[in-house]
Structure 1
Amino acid sequence: MHIGLIGGIGPAATDHYYRRLIAAFAQAGAPLELTVVHADAPTLLANLAAGDAAAQVAIYRRLTARLADAGADFVAITSIAGHFCVEDFAAVSPLPLLDMLSAISAHIQRTGLSRIGLLGTRTVMETRLYGRIATAELVPPRGDRLGTVHDAYAAMAAAGSVTPDQRAIFRAAADQLRNEDGVEALMLGGTDLALVFDAATSPYPLVDCAGLHVDAIVHHALGNPLPT
């Protein structure tokens, strides 16, 4: 199947998806058919902050029509923050939508995790990932630290790179969630957090939202159902 990605939100997230898809299809010995269109990260973050779902859906709809013209069979959004309007978008999308939140929810059900720390944008953290996770408690940073994490994440996503100060903010928040709030794992509630945390070196278990989404895209494109 021909994969359509809405990328650019942010650039590092798009690169993360692209590299993982290339590796997965190479491992499967299958040709990768992929088209990527560009959405603007600052525009998304402004619409997210304003709660303007209609404006973001209009952008997605226009870009997805372009993907359909290119021959894509389905569309996926390479941004967790970009899923704030996903239900509205799914209702009008020119292509079937493979959304990230369903993949995350299914993973949590499979693993049996019950208390998970959450980092990402303010909306992701305050809504506990848009209220879509029913089988576990998502725990965001407390007090002023939530706003500090949001500001660092927004700057990192727009730049496509992480500074030492931003890295320190995310790691301090993760340590607090793990050591003081007793979470079992840390959810990377922003795709660009892959610039900071890696499963091979992390001192605590990770719920890699982008990785789960890529896995779902690969399985769908190759016609292989994910395990239940």
Structure 2
Amino acid sequence: MHVGLIVGIGPAATDYYYRLLIAAAARAGVALELTMSHADVSTLLRHQAAGDVQAQVEVYLRLAERLARAGAQQIAVTSIAGHFCIDAFKAVSPRPVIDLLQVMRADLQARGLQRVGLLGTRGVMASRFYGVLDGVDVIAPVDDLLDVHEAYAAMASAGIATPAQREVFMRAGRSLTREHGCEAVLLAGTDLALVFGPDDDPGFPVLDCAAIHAAVIARTALQSP
């Protein structure tokens, strides 16, 4: 199946999704049908901060129509911050949307987790993952929320993580698990793969939302049209 991705928000997440999808297709021995369309991370963060759902939906709609013309049969947005307007976008998208929020709600239900922490942008953390994780106690950083947001926004825009930014995320993650009793910390920002690699041990359990979302996109892409 031909899948379309709205990417660029941020650049490291684009690369991460792309590599995961290529690897999944290679393992399956299937040619990947994929088209990507670029959105601007600074524009997204501005719209999210202002709560301007309509402005960001208009951006997505223009890109989704481009993807549909290219032959995409389903569409995904490679940004958790970018899901602040996902319901409004799904209502007008020319193709079905593989919604990361719904993917994560199903995943946490399957795992039986009751209490999770969040690392990501202020909008994602303050909204407790947009309020979609029914039956789960969702905890945002308390003292570190603004530091985490600023570190994340800078990292996402630059596509690299500095040692100082890494320490912000590690400190917040340790606090969420050790002081607030979280069973796991959701990497609720798709660029956090820059900090939490598959072979890294941060000292607390994490769930990589981008990798879980990408796995669902891959399964969709590997289906017959």
TM-score (ref. length: structure 1): 0.95
The residue correspondences of 1:21-32 to structure 2 (distance < 5 A) are: 21-32=21-32
Alignment of 1:154 onto 2:153:
yes
Alignment of 1:92 onto 2:92:
yes
1:127-161 deviation digits (Å, cap 9, x = unpaired): 10100100211111103x10110011000001111
Q: Aligned-pair distance for 1:221?
A: 2.0
Q: Which moved more, 1:117-126 or 1:193-202?
A: 193-202
| 2:207 match | 207
- Taking the aligned partners of 1:198 and 1:111, their CA distance within structure 2 comes to 21
List alignment gaps of at least 5 residues for structure 1.
none
1:148-177 deviation digits (Å, cap 9, x = unpaired): 100110000011111111011111111111
| 1:183 match | 182
- Taking the aligned partners of 2:199 and 2:115, their CA distance within structure 1 comes to 21
DSSP 3-state at the match of 1:201: coil
1:58-82 deviation digits (Å, cap 9, x = unpaired): 0000000000111111100000000
- What CA RMSD, in Å, does the superposition of the two structures yield over aligned residues? 1.1
Alignment of 1:140 onto 2:140:
yes
| 2:102 match | 102
Asked if the contact 2:33–2:221 (Cα under 8 Å) also holds between the matched residues in 1, the reply is no
- Taking the aligned partners of 1:223 and 1:66, their CA distance within structure 2 comes to 22
| 2:167 match | 168
| 1:115 match | 115
Asked if the contact 1:108–1:135 (Cα under 8 Å) also holds between the matched residues in 2, the reply is no
| 2:47 match | 47
Q: Which runs of 4+ in 1 moved over 4 A?
A: none
Q: Aligned-pair distance for 1:204?
A: 2.2
1:64-120 deviation digits (Å, cap 9, x = unpaired): 000011111110000000000000000000111111011101110010011111010
1:15-56 deviation digits (Å, cap 9, x = unpaired): 000000000110011110111110000000000000000000
- Taking the aligned partners of 1:214 and 1:109, their CA distance within structure 2 comes to 18
- Taking the aligned partners of 1:170 and 1:62, their CA distance within structure 2 comes to 34
Q: Aligned-pair distance for 1:208?
A: 1.1
Q: Which of the pair has the greater relative contact order for Cα pairs under 8 Å at 6+ separation? A: 2
- Taking the aligned partners of 2:61 and 2:181, their CA distance within structure 1 comes to 41
DSSP 3-state at the match of 2:5: strand
DSSP 3-state at the match of 1:130: helix
| 2:125 match | 125
DSSP 3-state at the match of 2:157: helix
Q: Aligned-pair distance for 1:200?
A: 3.2
- Taking the aligned partners of 1:21 and 1:219, their CA distance within structure 2 comes to 9
Letter in 2 for 1:161: I
Q: Aligned-pair distance for 1:199?
A: 4.2
Q: Tell me the percent identity.
A: 55
The alignment covers a number of residue pairs equal to 223
- Taking the aligned partners of 1:60 and 1:150, their CA distance within structure 2 comes to 23
Asked if the contact 1:9–1:78 (Cα under 8 Å) also holds between the matched residues in 2, the reply is yes
